[in-house]
Structure 1
Amino acid sequence: MSTIIYTRTDEAPLLATYSLKPVLEAFAGAAGIEVQTRDISLAGRILAQFPERLTEEQRVGDALAELGQLATTPEANIIKLPNISASAPQLRAAITELQGQGYDLPDYPEDPQTEEEREVRARYDRVKGSAVNPVLREGNSDRRAPEAVKNYARSRPHSMGAWSADSRTRVATMGARDFAANEQSVVLPAADTLTIEHVAADGTRTVLKDGLQVEEGEVVDATFMDVAALRAFLAEQVGTAAAEDVLLSLHLKATMMKVSDPIIFGHAVETFFADVFSRYGEQLASAGLSARDGLAGILAGLDALGDQAEEVRAAVDARLAQLPRLSMVNSDKGITNLHVPSDVIVDASMPAMIRNGGKLWGPQGEEDDTLAIIPDSSYAGVYQAVIEDCKAHGAYDPTTMGSVPNVGLMARKAEEYGSHDKTFEIAADGVVRVVDAAGQTLMEHEVRAGDVWRACQTKDEPVRDWVKLAVTRARASGDPAIFWLDAERAHDANLITKVRTYLQDHDTDGLDLQVMSPVEATRVSVERIRQGLNTISVTGNVLRDYNTDLFPILEVGTSAKMLSVVPLMNGGGLFETGAGGSAPKHVQQLQSENYLRWDSLGEFLAIAESLRHLADREGNARAGVLGDALDRATERVLTEGRSPARRLGQIDNRGSHFYLALYWAEALAGQTADAELAAAFAPVAQQLGDQEEKIAQELLDAQGTPVDLGGYFHPDDAKATAAMRPSPTFNAVIDGLRG
């Protein structure tokens, strides 16, 4: 029997799974396909770390490790939904919820002192940040907008804010003493074992990382951010925003860059509230309150200061009044850009601002131009180039604009910057070195206490596969492909050499393949999309993340509508379902009024590709028929307005799943490739069609009252199922088909 692994994740995608997965199971079963679930949610990952503290009934397996192994095999067929890339506040909140549900989990040690506390901290840190994707991504990424989605955007364009030539919005970035400026890079001539060490000014040697295995041809980079320069830069931006009377906004990625960016975020909070921390810093620290958790964490914990709590709260309020207007996440609730590190993620926040005419929201709910701070200059210029283009030519037109699909280098943890076990906050002035097994120094940096130093690896085989995938997509589409690589940057210079070498392994006659710096590539790409032309962006891992939000949000309104295929290097397939940045708001709406706005379009697209993969890989022709029929059903969901609406009393996520099932059954009943399959689904289509009005009304009747899910990070399955499958009539048809 063929198998599809459907991942259980978090928040709105998890809630949608309770409704959509039974439909998938029912339809896939007709092709002899078993749909299995693996729990890679934040709660599941936490529980898997502490089996010895749980009862037998509470224990869960390490599904992420299992899927990581599966991804290296030809049999892999994994549909991966968006998961929480946990910031420290999210991790602590999930731990608290699980403890309240009766799970004997230890608290997260903020400042571990004992060996036991250090071990607990290490286990929890394994699930922080972007812990899932690097494990599963044993291939490179192919992301593009399906034709049906582009056609829908052209015929029913999403709103785009107007741009003015005199807009004051711009990007502020360091440009010196940052990660981009300090980068060094080497290509290993042979397999080796490296050591990262810190040598203090007094000669004390500390091993930061040893036993670092590298392969022949592997690219290894090292760099650091000068924190003194960072703080001076941040302080300067406060003055600039005040002088220009624009909003002040900070754009980082404290989830994926789970080590480096929370540190940078903390420096921003401390710099912007310098007087508060100069007066009360010791008291805040003694109460366990850290700037890295944002203003929300500090304000929520002030009671620990006793009589001084109100004094500190008043000092924060006074500073807020003195600062330039901060960009707001929620002005009605007073939640600023600096409240929670995971609230503002650069690859989602910057495109949304550009789509909105370069404007963000201020303290009074007003829209205004912003000074957008992206401290590291590695890719900040990409956003500035788009802003400059919009100032010169106005907003993009979704009815005519072209597309910028992406081929992204990410296999085997390629370019995992600032997020994993090779990023360090430096404890003392000195030198950080990368040393080979023979004791030779490959790279070194002079650093000062507090600087953020990081290294990353990019193996040779993924680069070869990335080049091959770029050529394949260029050949299949006929579109030009640009490798976004900067010859002036150390890492990129090494990749350029590899790209030019490996392109010689392929037939590139008639293909338009170029190498450009990210800024130059952006300018060319946006010029072409205004002409209605497509340009493939071939990028490294971070730019893959940025571009696959930036351009889809402008082209089709959201990155959740992208088709994301990861051809795994050993023959399997990983099918990703879009971005989950809006997921928390959707959960809150369901809890308050039983209405889920989450759009499962990404899941529909991924399921169809997964089915076709089974057809190609295993010769399961019926799976291919199911996949093609699903694509036709998905297009009808779009064109007939059956996607989730915006307001209570209209179709929501559950309703869109009903209509997908109806249209899928009708497409299967009407196809001629498999008469037996058509006959099997004809009565299903008849039942759903005859009872359409009744089912739609049952789904609408469920809306309007609060819902108890039994948990946010770890909902109660029975309660969530009841909430997400409220139509007895629809359930009876689907469950009857499931057998």
Structure 2
Amino acid sequence: MARIIYTHTDEAPMLATASFLPILDAFSDTAGIEVTTRDISLAGRIVAAFSDLLPEEQREADALAELGELAKTPEANIIKLPNISASVPQLKAAIAELQGQGIALPEYPDNPETDEEKDARARYDSVKGSAVNPVLREGNSDRRAPAAVKNFAKKHPHRMGEWSKDSRTSVATMDADDFRSNEQSVVMDAEDTLSIVHVAADGTETVLKPSVPVLAGEVVDSTVMRVAALETFLREQIAAAKEQGVLFSLHLKATMMKVSDPILFGHAVRAFFPTLFTQYGDVLAEAGLSPNNGLGGLLAGIDELDESVREGARAAIDQDLAAGPDLAMVNSHKGITNLHVPSDVIIDASMPAMIRTSGHMWNKDDAEQDTLAVIPDSSYAGVYSATIEDCQTNGAFDPTTMGTVPNVGLMAQKAEEYGSHDKTFEIGSDGRVEVRDSSGAALMTHEVAAGDVFRACQAKDAPIRDWVQLAVRRSRQSGMPAVFWLDETRAHDRNLIAKVEKYLAEEDTEGLDLRILSPVEATKHTLARVRAGEDTISVTGNVLRDYLTDLFPIMELGTSAKMLSVVPLMNGGGLFETGAGGSAPKHVQQLIEEDYLRWDSLGEFLALAESLRHLSRTADNARAAVLADALDRATETLLNEGKSPQRKLGSIDNRGSHFYLAMYWAQELAKQTEDAELATAFGPIAKELTDGEQTIAAELLAVQGEPADIGGYYRPDPEKTAAVMRPSATFNRILEEISAAL
């Protein structure tokens, strides 16, 4: 039996799965397709990490590891929904919830001392940040806006804020001593095992990473962020925002860059609250309160301190807030600032949202205001700066006429993995860090000071070659020019440019427009084409892939959740990703408060169609292709009929959009002519769904407005969740009939 694996993840996508999966089960049964799930949620990954220590009845298999192995096989057909890339506050909240449900997990040790604590910390660290994507992505990324979605956006454009030529919004980034400027890069001549070693000023050596296996042709990089320069930079930007009368906002990626960026975030918190840390820094540290967890974590911890300290610390915070510039807000109504939680402001989502909103963020009075966007590392800050300058000169983009920017992204086999988690270190003492080969020779060396952040990463040769081939293939198939966003003045990119030029020479590129431009020049070139209504493929590395597949879709479509994300796995399988999940927490909050889920499952519909189409080819299942084509037509009807989830209570929500998709899908299957048996079977189903539309819609609307109990946030109760997400008895009954129709 043909098989699709549908991932069980977190937050709004997980809730939507409870509603959509029964529909998928019913329709796929008619093509002999088995749909199974694998739990790769944050809660599931935590439990799996400790399963060998848990009572037998609480143990769970490591679903992520299983899928990682499957992704290396031709049989892989995985639909991957957005999951939590956990920051430390999120991880601790999930642990507390699981403990409350009776799971015998240890506390998260902030400062592990015993072997048991160190073991627990290592297990928890294994599920932090981007723990899922690097395991599953055994192929490079092909991400684009489907024609139906792009056409709909042109007919029904989302709101774009107007830009003023007097806008004072800008980007501030470091011009020296950051990750980009300190980067070194080598290409391995042969297979080897490297090590990363810290050599203290007195010659004492500490092995930071004893084994880094590398292959011939692999690109290996290392770099360091010098915190003395970082601290100076942050203080300067805080003063500049105050002087200019604009909001101060920090833009990092503390989820994916799970080791480095929380440290940078902590330095920003220290810089913004100098009185607090001068007067109470030692007390906070003794209490285990780290600025790396944000102002929100500090405030919560201060509430537990002695009254005299509590009052003084809060007074110091108030003093620093009054003395500093206005802070950009995440939630003005609740007083949640840009510096409250490191995972609240993620650069790839926050910067496009700011650009879309006239270059504004929200201030404490819930009003829009020009902003100084602070992006410490300069690697890709220029992309956002160039985009802002373009808007200040030419005004907002017009979704009705603008071109599209698909992306081909290098990410296979952990290429350029976010922050290189296992090779990122906060340096304990002055000295140098060396990346050594197996003979002990130093391939790369960095002078470091205590507190500096060192990191290294890898990109294997086979994924790079596959990436170039995919770019050529997509350019030829689409007829679009393609631009490799690579900077010859950056160490890593110089090595990639050499490989790109080599592998392009091996491809048939006749008639194709293929260029290599620096990220800033590529931005300017692409935006000029976008404004002219012309389409351009961006061909990028992993981190920039993540940034651009939010930046352009948010401007084109209003959201990145409507992108089609296909990962042709290198060994023949397929991974189909369903879009971004950045707003998922707010959606869950609204469901719990009002029984209303505005999460849009369009990404799931698009991914499913491609998954079915892939299955039709690899499993010789003609009916799967019929289902896929009918699903695409149903999705287009859903968009044109305005049946996507709305934002306002009392309107159609996620569950309603699922019903309408099922109805349109059944109608399309009933009238298609490729499979007569399928058309005959779906005729009465389509009629029953159509005739029952008013009843089903009324049943779905009737539950709105009251609190919903799903039994948990990180691990909801399955029965309670199903009851909330499937409230229409009429619709549920019809779904049960579909499998019996064939």
Instruction: Please give the range of the TM-score, normalised by the shorter of the 2 chains.
Output: over 0.9
Question: Residues of 1 paired with 2:600 and 2:311: CA distance?
Answer: 43
Partner of 2:560: 559
Partner of 1:366: 367
Question: Residues of 2 paired with 1:736 and 1:717: CA distance?
Answer: 23
Partner of 2:701: 700
Partner of 2:135: 135
Partner of 2:716: 715
Look up the SS of the partner of 2:176 in the other structure.
Answer: coil
Q: Tell me, yes or no, if structure 1 residue 322 matches structure 2 residue 323.
A: yes
Partner of 1:38: 38
8 Å CA contact 1:130–1:419 kept in 2: the answer is no
8 Å CA contact 1:165–1:391 kept in 2: the answer is yes
Partner of 1:398: 399
8 Å CA contact 1:328–1:362 kept in 2: the answer is yes
Question: Residues of 2 paired with 1:60 and 1:561: CA distance?
Answer: 33
What is the Cα deviation at residue 473 of structure 1? 0.4
Question: Residues of 2 paired with 1:50 and 1:205: CA distance?
Answer: 33
Q: Deviations 1:306-365 (Å, cap 9, x if unpaired)? A: 121122112112211111000000111110000000000000000000000100001111
Partner of 1:13: 13
Which amino acid letter does the alignment assign opposite residue 590 of structure 2? Q
Partner of 2:61: 61
Partner of 2:205: 205
8 Å CA contact 1:283–1:305 kept in 2: the answer is no
Partner of 2:306: 306
Q: TM-score, normalised by structure 2?
A: 0.99
Q: Which moved more, 1:664-673 or 1:409-418?
A: 409-418
Which amino acid letter does the alignment assign opposite residue 482 of structure 1? V
Partner of 2:52: 52
Which amino acid letter does the alignment assign opposite residue 167 of structure 2? S
Query: 1:443-462 maps to which residues of 2 (within 5 A)?
Result: 443-462=444-463
Partner of 2:252: 252
Q: Deviations 1:186-205 (Å, cap 9, x if unpaired)? A: 00000011011000001100
Look up the SS of the partner of 1:34 in the other structure.
Answer: strand
Which amino acid letter does the alignment assign opposite residue 423 of structure 2? K
Partner of 1:503: 504
Partner of 2:486: 485
Q: Deviations 1:82-121 (Å, cap 9, x if unpaired)? A: 0000000000000000000111100000000011110000
Query: 1:297-696 maps to which residues of 2 (within 5 A)?
Result: 297-307=297-307, 308-696=309-697
Which amino acid letter does the alignment assign opposite residue 565 of structure 1? V
Question: Residues of 2 paired with 1:99 and 1:44: CA distance?
Answer: 13
Q: Deviations 1:400-437 (Å, cap 9, x if unpaired)? A: 00011000000000001424110000000001001101
Partner of 1:288: 288
Q: Where in structure 1 do 4 or more consecutive aligned residues deviate above 3 Å?
A: none
Q: Deviations 1:370-390 (Å, cap 9, x if unpaired)? A: 000000000000000000100
Q: Deviations 1:627-664 (Å, cap 9, x if unpaired)? A: 00000000011000000011111100000000000000
Look up the SS of the partner of 2:111 in the other structure.
Answer: coil
8 Å CA contact 2:638–2:660 kept in 1: the answer is yes
8 Å CA contact 1:564–1:575 kept in 2: the answer is yes
Q: Deviations 1:147-183 (Å, cap 9, x if unpaired)? A: 0001110000000000011100000000210000000
| Structure 2 residue runs without a partner (length 5+) | none
What is the Cα deviation at residue 583 of structure 1? 0.1
Partner of 2:269: 269
Question: Residues of 1 paired with 2:420 and 2:104: CA distance?
Answer: 28
Question: Residues of 2 paired with 1:534 and 1:417: CA distance?
Answer: 28
Q: TM-score, normalised by structure 1?
A: 0.99
Q: Tell me, yes or no, if structure 1 residue 180 matches structure 2 residue 199.
A: no
Q: Deviations 1:13-37 (Å, cap 9, x if unpaired)? A: 0000000000001000100000000
Question: Residues of 1 paired with 2:242 and 2:38: CA distance?
Answer: 50
Question: Residues of 2 paired with 1:233 and 1:288: CA distance?
Answer: 27
| Structure 1 residue runs without a partner (length 5+) | none
Question: Residues of 1 paired with 2:424 and 2:220: CA distance?
Answer: 13
8 Å CA contact 2:420–2:456 kept in 1: the answer is no
How many residues are matched? Answer: 739
What is the Cα deviation at residue 301 of structure 1? 1.1
Query: 1:90-239 maps to which residues of 2 (within 5 A)?
Result: 90-239=90-239
What is the Cα deviation at residue 540 of structure 1? 0.1
What is the Cα deviation at residue 50 of structure 1? 1.1
Partner of 2:25: 25
Which amino acid letter does the alignment assign opposite residue 302 of structure 1? I
What is the Cα deviation at residue 444 of structure 1? 0.2
What is the Cα deviation at residue 304 of structure 1? 2.8
Question: Residues of 1 paired with 2:655 and 2:523: CA distance?
Answer: 38
Question: Residues of 1 paired with 2:420 and 2:269: CA distance?
Answer: 20
Question: Residues of 2 paired with 1:70 and 1:53: CA distance?
Answer: 26
Question: Residues of 2 paired with 1:21 and 1:567: CA distance?
Answer: 24
Question: Residues of 2 paired with 1:735 and 1:250: CA distance?
Answer: 50
8 Å CA contact 2:275–2:317 kept in 1: the answer is no
Question: Residues of 2 paired with 1:418 and 1:115: CA distance?
Answer: 26
Partner of 1:84: 84
Q: Deviations 1:264-297 (Å, cap 9, x if unpaired)? A: 0000001111111010011111111110010110
Look up the SS of the partner of 1:561 in the other structure.
Answer: coil
Look up the SS of the partner of 1:533 in the other structure.
Answer: coil
8 Å CA contact 1:196–1:208 kept in 2: the answer is yes
Which amino acid letter does the alignment assign opposite residue 9 of structure 2? T
Question: Residues of 1 paired with 2:593 and 2:359: CA distance?
Answer: 32
What is the Cα deviation at residue 708 of structure 1? 1.0
